[in-house]
Amino acid sequence: MARINSPEKLEKARQEILSRRKPDAPCISICAGAGCLAFGASEVIDAFKAEVEKQGLTVDVDIKKTGCPGFCERGPVVVIFPEEICYLQVKPQDVPEIVSQTIKEKKIVERLLYVDPTTDEKAIHESDIPFYKNQQRNIICDNIKIDSKILDDYLAIGGYEALSKVLFQMSADDVLAEVKASQLRGRGGAGFPVWRKWEGTRNSPGEIKYLVVNADEGDPGAFMDRALLEGNPHSILEGLIIGAHTIGSNEGYFYVRQEYPLAMENLGIAIRQAKEYGLLGKDILGSGFDFNVEVHRGAGAFVCGEETALLRSLEGKPGEPTPRPPYPAVKGLWEKPTNINNVETWANIPLIINKGGAAFASTGTEGSKGTKIFSLVGKITNTGLVEVPMGITLNDIIYKIGGGIPGGKKFKAVQTGGPSGGCIPAEQLNLEVGFDELTKAGSMMGSGGMIVLDEDTCMVDVARYFIDFLTEESCGKCVPCREGLRQMHTILTRITRGEGREGDIELLEVLAETAKEASLCALGKSAPNPFLSTLRYFRDEYDAHIKEKRCPALSCKELISYYIEPDKCQACMICLKKCPVDAIEGGKKKIHVIIQEKCTNCGECFEACPSKFGAIKKLSGEPVPPPIPEAERTFVKKSKEK
């Protein structure tokens, strides 16, 4: 491809690409995101290629390896265009049937469709599946339409149109005004207004300015940025170049999480192709504007996602936060003004330019506009990535999109905002999702993690778990975080072990205050959230652990006992064989008894006991009834006597 050196030529190139494509010809899109690849998407892709060739359809059918559409749990996901037929959990052996039935005969392969678990209704199109139907997929929707390794695919859906507009039809002030009108706030955590940061960096004195894409995505379980990097890297790149032109920067950096090899690969390809096409590098689209990017692999620590630590790491120094002010916009990378935004933030930019800031701002709440991608995981029926309009209620995300809590369990709380976010209880399920709304509820937006917890979860243990993570990830520089979190973890651990003391809550509170008020960076400042939010909504659980040595959720190992109810035991020997420490006495036709002294509370028996018997009970805060006398242990099958 020759370099494109004018907006007209870009349009011409786009028309050429489109003219080569037959809009009605079948296109088999197979997700090649990390999730689906783990479920064997590569084999499915190979099978499609072989089968299409075997049935002599190569010229008529397009096969596309695409980015992640979010429903990873049901992967590999296959969507057949133009009808948008969606098949889930496709295996290589399903492929011949799909090709001969759906591609050739236009018939549906029923068994591969999504089935609604409550209504048993099947959904043919992607957009009929409740998981998708209730989302508003403005950004992630393109993932399934393009092969991210092919720039033509991105151009075919209007890619780089926004950039062309910015370079040739808009002034930097116009762009800034549009971003301001969109009211877009950063998607990486703090939710800072994007236009203000851009303007700040633009107005900072200095010839050299840098741009950075924060692609460190350190929250455990979060993968929205990965999905965009793998599935649509050009959208991020386009946003970045627009930002560069607006702010006045000629050099940008991607800081990509260490564990994202596929993202690195796809991003590398995207950058190379954009350069070849003249969309990146010198004299972009013939506008005279130069912009280069480099990709940097992250140092691997969670705190390296914090902007000052990230910049130090880019400079080759230890990835430790440095005091702000000075803010990066004034003194950032190598002491030059630097604008750093998150992956998803950048990906929103082309959209804002194409549709206009006002249109963008028409979705959302007072303070939060547009859509946000969440990673929905935990005790929820449909896990995956969901893109929703700001202002949607937690209830709608969890029940309409997520399909509710599996196993007939009760919802308890949803943990949002990553490890240093907070837990929001059932009473607040009507909360509208937005930056300020979540903060007010004692949690935060963070980068969009959402972990659903059910009634079996102990909230004290949840706090302990996240504080443990954060203690491990503290960079160790400042005292309130390094020492304060370590002590908080010690205290929370002893509470969950039934060794909590009078005064522990007050001790935790003072440590939380100290970390929140006195820490150097936002890791330490927000780290007490898991404790503070669980204390706010679930104080009774703390009291039960400390005062009664009882875990109300029957989850803390040190505070529970397992007990076999004699009248329910069917003497089936299943649990007895499962017990790893031979703590269960009994035999065929002999009611089983757990020897409490031997039991290690591993819970194997509880899991093993057939649910129709349900003979094993967890007890907490009450004495275990004495074992039934030997003489009464003979099992008598209850006949249906009347």
Ligand X SMILES: Cc1cc2nc3c(=O)[nH]c(=O)nc-3n(C[C@H](O)[C@H](O)[C@H](O)COP(=O)(O)O)c2cc1C
> 87 and 76 in contact (C-beta within 8 Å)?
no
Which entry of ligand SF4, ligand X, other proteins, none binds 187, CB below 5 to 8 A by partner kind? ligand X
Which entry of ligand SF4, ligand X, other proteins, none binds 298, CB below 5 to 8 A by partner kind? none
Residues 303-332 that bind ligand SF4 (CB under 6 A): 303, 321
Q: Is 369 helix (H, G, I), strand (E, B) or coil?
A: strand
> What is the closest distance, in whole angstroms, from the C-beta atom of residue 225 to ligand X in the complex?
7
Which entry of ligand X, other proteins, ligand SF4, none binds 186, CB below 5 to 8 A by partner kind? ligand X
Closest CA to 552 of 563, 541, 542, 543: 541
Q: Which residues contact 512 (CB under 8 A, 6 or more apart)?
A: 488, 528, 531, 532
> What is the closest distance, in whole angstroms, from the C-beta atom of residue 417 to other proteins in the complex?
21
Residue 528: φ, ψ to 5°: -70, -10
Among 76, 130, 188, 434, binds ligand X (CB under 6 A): 188
- From the list 70-78, 372-380, 474-482, 634-642, the region that binds ligand SF4 by CB under 6 A is 474-482
Which residue has tokens 């969901």? 386
Residue 254 bridge partners (DSSP) = 213, 295
Minimum CB distance to other proteins smaller for 490 or for 634: 490
Letter string b/e over residues 383-400, b meaning 16 or more CB atoms within 10 A of that residue's CB:
bbbbbbbbbbbbbbbbbb
Query: Applying CB under 6 A, what is the total number of residues that bind ligand SF4?
Result: 14
Q: Is the dihedral of CA 597, 601, 605, 606 positive or negative?
A: positive
| 189 near ligand SF4, rule: CB under 6 A | no
> 423 and 417 in contact (C-beta within 8 Å)?
no
- Which residue of this chain has its Cβ atom nearest to ligand SF4 in the complex? 524
Minimum CB distance to ligand SF4 smaller for 7 or for 421: 421
- From the list 128-136, 352-360, 472-480, 547-555, the region that binds ligand SF4 by CB under 6 A is 472-480
Give the per-residue SS3 of 549-589. Answer: CCCCCCCCHHHEEEEECCCCCCCCCHHHHHCCCCCEEEECC
Strands (E), 515-620: 560-564, 584-587, 590-594, 616-620
CA 31 to chain CA centroid, Å, is 17
- From the list 96-104, 516-524, 588-596, 600-608, the region that binds ligand SF4 by CB under 6 A is 516-524
> What is the closest distance, in whole angstroms, from the C-beta atom of residue 599 to other proteins in the complex?
29
> 530 and 515 in contact (C-beta within 8 Å)?
no
> 308 and 321 in contact (C-beta within 8 Å)?
yes
Which entry of other proteins, ligand SF4, ligand X, none binds 341, CB below 5 to 8 A by partner kind? ligand X
Give the per-residue contact string, 217-236, with ligand X (x = CB under 6 A; - = no): xx------------------
> 256 and 486 in contact (C-beta within 8 Å)?
no
Residues 418-437 that bind ligand X (CB under 6 A): none
Q: In 62-171, which ranges are continuous DSSP H helix?
A: 95-97, 130-133, 151-156, 161-169
DSSP track, 308-325: HHHHHHHTTS------SS
Give the per-residue contact string, 253-292, with ligand X (x = CB under 6 A; - = no): ----------------------------------------
> What is the closest distance, in whole angstroms, from the C-beta atom of residue 38 to ligand SF4 in the complex?
32
Distance CA 619, CA 551 (A): 9
Q: Is the dihedral of CA 267, 272, 273, 278 positive or negative?
A: positive
Find the farthest-apart pair of alpha carbons in the chain and give their distance in angstroms, rounded. Answer: 95
Half-sphere exposure (CA, 13 Å, Cβ side) for 260? Answer: 30
Residues 318-347 that bind ligand X (CB under 6 A): 340-342, 345
> What is the closest distance, in whole angstroms, from the C-beta atom of residue 257 to ligand SF4 in the complex?
17
Which entry of other proteins, ligand X, ligand SF4, none binds 447, CB below 5 to 8 A by partner kind? ligand X
> What is the closest distance, in whole angstroms, from the C-beta atom of residue 325 to ligand X in the complex?
14
| 113 near ligand SF4, rule: CB under 6 A | no
| 521 near ligand SF4, rule: CB under 6 A | yes
Q: Which residues contact 550 (CB under 8 A, 6 or more apart)?
A: 544, 559, 620, 621, 622
Among 161, 178, 216, 604, binds ligand X (CB under 6 A): 216
| 528 near ligand X, rule: CB under 6 A | no
Give the number of other CB atoms < 10 A from CB of residue 24: 8
Residue 451 bridge partners (DSSP) = 377, 415
| 550 near ligand X, rule: CB under 6 A | no
Q: Characterize the bridge pairing of strands 616-620 and 122-123.
A: unpaired
Distance CA 636, CA 638 (A): 6
- From the list 16-24, 212-220, 405-413, 529-537, the region that binds ligand X by CB under 6 A is 212-220
Minimum CB distance to ligand SF4 smaller for 304 or for 453: 304
Q: Is 257 helix (H, G, I), strand (E, B) or coil?
A: coil
Minimum CB distance to ligand X smaller for 218 or for 364: 218
Residues 287-306 that bind ligand SF4 (CB under 6 A): 303
Among 433, 520, 553, 571, binds ligand SF4 (CB under 6 A): 520
Binding site for other proteins (CB under 8 A): 301, 318, 323, 325, 471-480, 482-484, 486-487, 490, 507, 510-511, 513-514, 517-520
Minimum CB distance to other proteins smaller for 66 or for 471: 471
For residue 149, give both structure tokens. Answer: 């390794």
Among 66, 232, 447, 457, binds ligand X (CB under 6 A): 447
Q: How far apart are the first and last CA of the chain?
A: 86
Which entry of ligand SF4, other proteins, ligand X, none binds 499, CB below 5 to 8 A by partner kind? none
**Footprint of ligand X on this chain (CB under 6 A)?**
186-190, 192, 214, 216-218, 302-303, 305-307, 340-342, 345, 447, 521-523
**Footprint of ligand SF4 on this chain (CB under 6 A)?**
303, 321, 474-478, 481-482, 519-521, 523-524
